[in-house]
Structure 1
Amino acid sequence: MLWLLLSVLSSAVALYVLNSAHTPSNNGRPLPHPSDTLPLLGNAIRFLQPRHQLFTWFLTQQRQFSGQTYAISVPSLPPGVVISSPENLEFVLRNESLVTKGDFFRTRAWDLFGHGIINATGPLWKAQRKAGLRFFSGETLDVMVEEVLPEFWTDIVEKRLDEASATDYKEWTTVDLQHVFHDLTTAIMGQMAYDIPALNSSHPFSRAFDFASGWTATRFQNPLYTFTELFNGGKFRKAVAEVKHFGLQIVARAKRRRGNRAFESLVEGNDAPQFNTLIDSLIEAIDNPTIVADSAMNFLSAGRDTTAESLTWTTYALLRHQPVLWRLRQEITTAFPIGTQNLTLASLQPSTIPYILATFYESLRLYPPVPLEIQQCEADCTLPDGTFLPKSSVIVFCIWALNRSVDLWVEDAEQFRPERWLDDDGKFAGRSAWDFPVFNGGPRACLGRKMAEVLGCWVLVRLVEDWDVEEVRDGHGDRVSAISLTLPMKGGLPVRVRRRATAATAAEM
C-alpha cells in the first residue's frame, strides 16, 4: 500500500504543478481561494464530507466572497471555479456549445445515464429534447389532471393514508410520506410516459436506480473511484445492469404494442394509429434501441424523483410553518368553494392559486431538487465578470447556496416565506432563470417545469384540504438530504395522518 500512496501523492503533485501553469484568472491575477484551502490537497477534504455539510460550506464561501468567482482545486482533477452571480449563470446556461456537462460529469455519470438527454449533446440531444417537448404538452397535462392523477391519488395516496389514519377506534400509524409521493410520481410517469401500469418505488428497477444514483453521486467526491470500484463496485454494477435491462424492456414492450396496433388498424382498414406517450416519441426520433432505453431512463428518473422529493420538502416546510398551512387552506376555500374533488388544469393556474404556487416555489428555492450543478468548458472562455477559464475548466454552481443568497433574496433568505413570490397585488411573480436556476435555463431549460408545477399544486390542494398531518420527529432537528444526484430526504418523512372532517364527509358521499 505504501507504493500506491506514494504513487498517488506524486501524481497529485505533478498535476498540481501542471494545472498551476494554466489556471483560471481575472485580468491576469489568480482567483482567490477559500481560506481553508490546503497545500497540494486543495479542497479535497471538504468534498469528502456529507453533502448537507458541503452545501453549508458552499453557502459560507458565497457569503465570504459576496458573489465573486473563486477557485477550488482537488488533486487529479482539472482546475475549477465556483460562480454565483446571475450574469455568470446566464452566460453559462445560455452558451450550450461552449459550456457543457463535459467529460468530468459524463465519465462519472455514464454508467447510469449513458446516451440519455442528461449526457447527450448535439443532434442526439436535440432529438431527445424534441421528443420530450411533444410529450410535455398541454394535452398531456389535461389528461394528467383530469384522469390519471385522480385515479392514482385514490388508489395510492388515499389508500395508504387511510390505512395509517387515526380514527375513533384506531391508534395513529406512522407512514413515510416521501415513499408515498415516490409511489405516486413513479406510477404517473410509468403510465403516462411509458404505458406501464402498476410501476412503483418498490419495483426492482426503482430500488436499483436509487442505489445507482446515490453511488454515482459519491463518484464526484472520490477522485480515486475508478480504483476503489475494482474492489467495492460489484453492487453498483449489478444495479446499473438492472436499470439498463428495464430500459430495454420498456422499448421492446412499446415496439410490440406499436406493431400490434398497426396490424389491427391495417386489418380493420382504419387510419394509422397515433401514439402519444414519451416512449413512442423517442422510438420515432431515434433508431437505436439502446439509446432509446437510456433516454427513457433519464426522463423517468427526472420525472419521478425530483417531483416526489419536492413534494416531500414542501410538506415538511408546511409542517414546520403552521401559519403558511393555515393561509393555504384559506386560499383553497376561496378558490374551490364547491370542493376539490374535480380539479381541472384551468383551475390550477397562478391567477387562481397564487399562494399555493408561491409555497411550492418557496420550497423549491430552499430545497432545490438538483442542489449542485457541474459544467465544463469546451474551449477557452471569459465570463462576464472578467474571469478567464482555460479549456476543460470545471464550473460549479451550488443552487442550494445560490437560493440562500442575501444579495438576491434579502436578509431573510434562509427563512421559509412564500410571500416573497407575490407582488403588491398578491399575484404570483416569478424570477428569471439566472436568479432562480432550479429549472435550469437557456437551451437546457427543464421540459417538465409546467408538469411539476401543476402536479405539485394539485397534490398540495388535495393533501392540505383533506388531511391533518403531523411530523414524527423522533428527536430529529432539521432534516437533511440523503446521498443522491437529486435531493431525497434522508430517512424519509415519517408522519401521522387523520382525515379532516370535511374530507371524511365528502368521502362518504
Structure 2
Amino acid sequence: MDFLQAATAATSLLVLLYVLNLLQWFPFIPSLLKNQNKNKKRNYPPVAGTIFHQLLNLPRLVDFMADISRRYKTTFRMLTPSINYVYIIDPANVEYILRTNFTNYSKGYSFYDVMKDLLGDGIFAVDGDKWRHQRKMASYEFSTKVLRDYSSVVFKANASMLCQLVSEAATLNQMIDIQDLLMKTTLDSIFKVGFGVELKTLSGTSEEGRAFAKAFDDSSIQVTRRFFDVTWKVKRYLNVGAEAMMKKNIKIIDDFVYKLIDTKLKQLAEDQDDFMKKEDILSRFLIEKEKDPVNMTNRYLRDIILNFMIAGRDTTAGTLSWFLYMLCKHPDVQEKVAEEVIQATNMRDKVPIGEFSLSLTEEVLTRMQYLHAALTETLRLYPAVPLDPKLCSKDDTLPDGFDVREGDMIIYQPYAMGRMKFLWGEDAEVFRPERWLNEDGVFEPENPFKFTAFQAGPRVCLGKEFAYRQMKIFAATLLCYLKFKLWDERKPVKYKTMLTLQIDGGLFLCAINR
C-alpha cells in the first residue's frame, strides 16, 4: 500500500509539473500570434530555435550558440515561453546596447529574478540607484593607491605559497589539479583584499571555507540552469530536485557571510580609530554602514560581498586555468612567456620562491608585454563570462537593422565573438598571442566592443587592471620556477555551464621544476 501511495504521489507531481509547464506557454501563444502580425511590418531577427534546443545542449551551451552564430553570421532569436532571447555578435550592436543606448538595455527584472537568491542586490544583478551606489564606491576603492599596494602584497604572498606547493608536488611527481588550487588561492586573496579575512583554503585548514566555496559553485551552476528551465519556480516552490539543494547551499553561503559581517562589526565597535585605517574593502563599506544603517543592511552587505567574490575569485582563477591549459597545448608559447619573465625580473640565477615576489614591481610587470598578450588571447577564446544578457526596456532597432521588442533579452556573446572569422580572421580559433603585439612587441588593445571580456561602456569592469595584475603575478611566479604539461594528453578538457567559464572536473597537470 505504501508503495502504491508513493507511486501515485510521484505520478501526481509529474502531472502537475507538466500541466504547469503547459500553462506557462499560454501567455506566449497570443504573443506569438500578435508578433506574427507585427512581423509583416517590422524586421525581427530570424528564429534559430527554442529554449528547449538550448536545454538539450546545456552541457556545451556556449559552443552550441557559437555554432548557430557561425551559421547565421548575424543577430538571431531563440524562443522561450515568455520572452525572446536575442543573440548578437556584431560589435556595432554590442556598442549600441552597452553604450550608445545604454539606458534602454538594463539587467532587468527577469535577470534579477533568476539571480536574486544568490547575488541579491549586488552590483552584477541590479540597475538604478543600487547599481550606481555600488559602482561609485567600488570605482573609488579600485582607484586608490592604498588598495593597489595592499592587493599586490597579498597576491605576491599567495602566489609564492601556491608556487611552493606546486614545486613540492613536482619534486614528488604528483598530479595536481591546478584549477582547484587556483580557485582556493584566489578565494584566499579576495577574502584578504576584500574582507580582511585569512580564509586559508589553499593550506587546507579551513573546512568552513571549503564548504562555502563548494556551495557557491553549485549555486552558480543552478542559477544558470534557471534561464533554460521553465519549471524552476515550480521546483523551488515545491522544494524538490536541484532547487531543494540550492536552498541548502544558500543557507551555507548566508551563514558563512553573516558570520563574517558580525565579526567585522565587532572589530569596528572595539576600535573604530584603528578600523578607519583598514585597507580591505569590506571595512570601508562598514564605515559607510555607520553613516547609513537604514540602507546599508547586513543583507545588502552580504550581496555586495558575494558579488565582489565572483568578480575577484571565479574570473581570475578560471582565466588562469585556461591560460595554463593553452600553454600546455602550445609549449612554444609557454617557453616564450617564461623567458620574458626571467628577462624582465633578471632571474637567471634563481632566488628562493619566497624572495621572487620582491622583483615583481609595477614597472617589471609592465615590461611583460608577451605575458599580457597571452593572457588576453586566453580571454578572447575563453572569456570569464561567456554570455551576458541585457533586457530591452522599449521597442528598438539595432544598428544591423533588426528590430527588438520591449521585454526581449538581448544577449551578447564574448565566447562566440572570439571565434568569429569575420572579426578575427581565418585563424580566429587559433591561440596566437602575437595578434595583440605591434612590430615593436608592444601590446595593442582592441576595440572593447569587439573584445568584450571586460564589458564596455558604463558597466565596463572596474577591476580590469586589478585582475590583470593578479593574473600576471601568479603566472610570472609559476612560470619562472615550473614547466607544465597535461597529465593525460588524451583526456578532453571541457567547461561547466555556469555563470563563469570554468573547466569541468578540474585541470590535471604535471609540473616540472625548472
| Bin of the TM-score, shorter chain as denominator length | 0.7 to 0.9
Amino acid paired to 2:271:
R
Offset of 1:198 from its aligned partner?
A: 2.6
2: CA distance, partners of 1:20 / 1:371: 33
CA pair 165-104 structure 1, distance change in 2 beyond 3 A: same
CA distance in 1, matches of 2:424, 2:251: 43
Choose which of 412, 415, 432 in structure 2 pairs with 1:397. 412
Against the structure 1 CA distance between its residues 3 and 493, is the aligned structure 2 distance closer, same or farther, given a 3 Å change threshold?
closer
Equivalent of 1:142, from 145, 149, 157?
A: 149
Q: Is the 8 A contact 2:51 2:228 kept in 1?
A: no
The answer to whether the 8 A contact 2:372-2:472 is kept is yes
Q: Secondary structure at the match of 1:476?
A: coil
Shift of 1:283: 2.5
Q: Does the CA contact (< 8 Å) of 1:358 and 1:418 recur in 2?
A: yes
User: What do the CA deviations read for 1:118-160 (whole angstroms, capped 9, x no partner)?
Assistant: 1122221112112212332343222232x222322233x1342
Q: Secondary structure at the match of 1:203?
A: helix
Q: Residues of 2 paired with 1:294 and 1:83: CA distance?
A: 30
Q: 1:29 to 1:139 in 2, by over 3 A?
A: same
C-alpha displacement of 1:91: 1.2
| 1:489 has 2:514 as partner | no
The structural deviation recorded for 1:390 is: 1.8
State the partner residue of 2:331.
322
Name the CA distance, whole Å, in 1 between partners of 2:509 and 2:308: 29
**What does 1:433-472 align with in structure 2 at a 5 Å threshold?**
433-472=448-487
Equivalent pair of 2:319/2:383 in contact (CA under 8 Å): yes
Relative to structure 1, is the Cα distance of residues 135 and 26 closer, same or farther in structure 2, using a 3 angstrom cutoff?
farther
CA contact (8 A) 1:357 1:428 kept: yes
Structure 2: any 5+ residue segments left out of the alignment? 1-13, 203-208, 290-295, 349-355
Counterpart of 2:267?
257
Alpha carbons of structure 1 residues 4 and 226: separation in structure 2 relative to 1, 3 Å:
closer
Q: Residue 118 of structure 2 aligns to which amino acid in structure 1?
A: L
**1:304-383 equivalent positions in 2, closer than 5 A:** 304-338=313-347, 340-350=356-366, 352-383=367-398
| Distance in structure 2 (CA, Å) of the matches to 1:422 and 1:486 | 27
- Decide whether aligned partners of structure 1 residues 304 and 30 sit closer, same or farther in structure 2, where only a CA change above 3 A counts: closer
Identity %: 25
Aligned counterparts of 1:366 and 1:423: Cα–Cα separation in 2 = 20
Match of 2:53 in 1: 45
Given that residues 348 and 458 in structure 1 are in contact (C-alpha distance below 8 angstroms), is that contact kept between their aligned partners in structure 2? no
- The residue correspondences of 1:22-421 to structure 2 (distance < 5 A) are 22=35, 28-34=42-48, 37=49, 42-52=50-60, 54-66=61-73, 68-74=74-80, 76-94=81-99, 95-137=101-143, 138-145=145-152, 147-155=153-161, 157-166=162-171, 170=172, 172-200=173-201, 203-229=210-236, 230=238, 231-232=240-241, 233-262=243-272, 273-286=276-289, 287-338=296-347, 340-350=356-366, 352-421=367-436
For the residue of structure 1 that corresponds to 2:333, the secondary structure is: helix
Please state whether the residue corresponding to 2:332 is helix, strand or coil: helix
- Aligned 8 A contact 1:25 1:389 in 2: no
Q: Could you list the per-position Cα deviations for residues 428-487 of structure 1 after superposition, in whole angstroms to 9, with x for gaps in the alignment?
A: 01112201111011111111110111111111111111012221127313x111132111
* TM-score normalised to structure 1 length: 0.88
Q: CA 1:327 to 1:71, structure 2 compared with 1: closer, same or farther past 3 Å?
A: same
Asked if structure 1 preserves the Cα contact closer than 8 Å seen for 2:25 and 2:82, the reply is no
Give the superposition deviation at 1:8: 3.3
Local SS of the residue matching 2:390: strand
**TM-superposed deviation, 1:48:** 3.1
In structure 1, the residue matched to 2:10 is none
Cα distance in 1 for partners of 2:500, 2:33 equals 33
CA distance change for structure 1 residues 338 and 159 in 2, over 3 Å: closer, same or farther?
closer
Amino acid in the other structure paired with 2:249: A
Structure 1 position 305, deviation (Å): 0.8
The 3 A distance-change label for structure 1 pair 47 and 341 is: same
Residues 328 and 486, structure 2, Cα contact 8 Å, conserved in 1: yes
CA distance in 1, matches of 2:322, 2:217: 18
Query: Mean alpha-carbon deviation: is it higher for 21-30 or for 354-363?
Result: 21-30
1:279 counterpart letter in structure 2? L
Q: Which moved more, 1:327-336 or 1:280-289?
A: 280-289
Report SS of the residue matched to 1:469: strand
- Runs of 5+ unmatched residues, structure 1: 266-271, 501-509
TM-score, normalization by structure 2: 0.87
Asked if the contact 1:467/1:498 (under 8 Å) is kept, the reply is: yes
Please state how far the C-alpha of 1:180 moved relative to its aligned partner: 1.0
**Alpha-carbon distance in structure 2 between the residues aligned to 1:335 and 1:142:** 20
Structure with the higher fraction of residues in helix conformation: 2
Deviating more after overlay: 394-403 vs 274-283: 274-283
CA deviation after TM superposition for structure 1 residue 317, in Å: 0.2
The amino acid across from 1:328 in the alignment is V
Compared CA separation, residues 499 and 26, structure 1 to 2 (3 A): farther
- Give the 3 Å change call, closer, same or farther, for CA 217–26 of structure 1 in structure 2: farther
Cα distance in 2 between the residues matched to 1:26 and 1:428: 49
Q: Which whole-Å CA distance do the structure 1 matches of 2:262 and 2:251 have between them?
A: 16
Query: Partners of 1:189 and 1:207 in 2: how far apart?
Result: 16
Between the aligned partners of 1:152 and 1:79, the Cα distance in structure 2 is: 45
Q: Quick check: 130-139 or 105-114, which moved more?
A: 130-139
Which secondary structure does the structure 2 equivalent of 1:165 belong to? helix
Residues 258 and 302 of structure 2 are in contact (CA less than 8 Å); yes or no, is this contact kept in structure 1? yes
Q: Deviations over 1:310-347 (max 9, x none)?
A: 00000000000011112112222332224654233423
Which range moved further: 172-181 or 130-139? 130-139
SS at structure 2 position matched to 1:28:
coil
Question: Residues of 1 paired with 2:419 and 2:318: CA distance?
Answer: 19
Counterpart of 1:281, as a letter, is: R
Structure 1's 437 and 326: CA in aligned 2 closer, same or farther, altered over 3 A? same
Residues 165 and 344 (structure 1 numbering): CA distance in 2 closer, same or farther, change over 3 Å? closer
Cα distance, 1:379–1:337 mapped onto 2, change above 3 Å: same
What letter is aligned with 2:343?
A: T
Cα distance between partner residues in 1 of 2:20 and 2:136:
47
**Partners of 2:44 and 2:404 within 8 A in 1:** no
Counterpart CA distance in 1 for 2:195 and 2:368 is: 31
1:424: how far off? Answer: 2.0
Shift of 1:58: 1.6
Aligned mates of 1:182, 1:241 — CA distance in 2 = 21
Q: How many residues align?
A: 476
Q: Which amino acid aligns with 2:83?
A: P
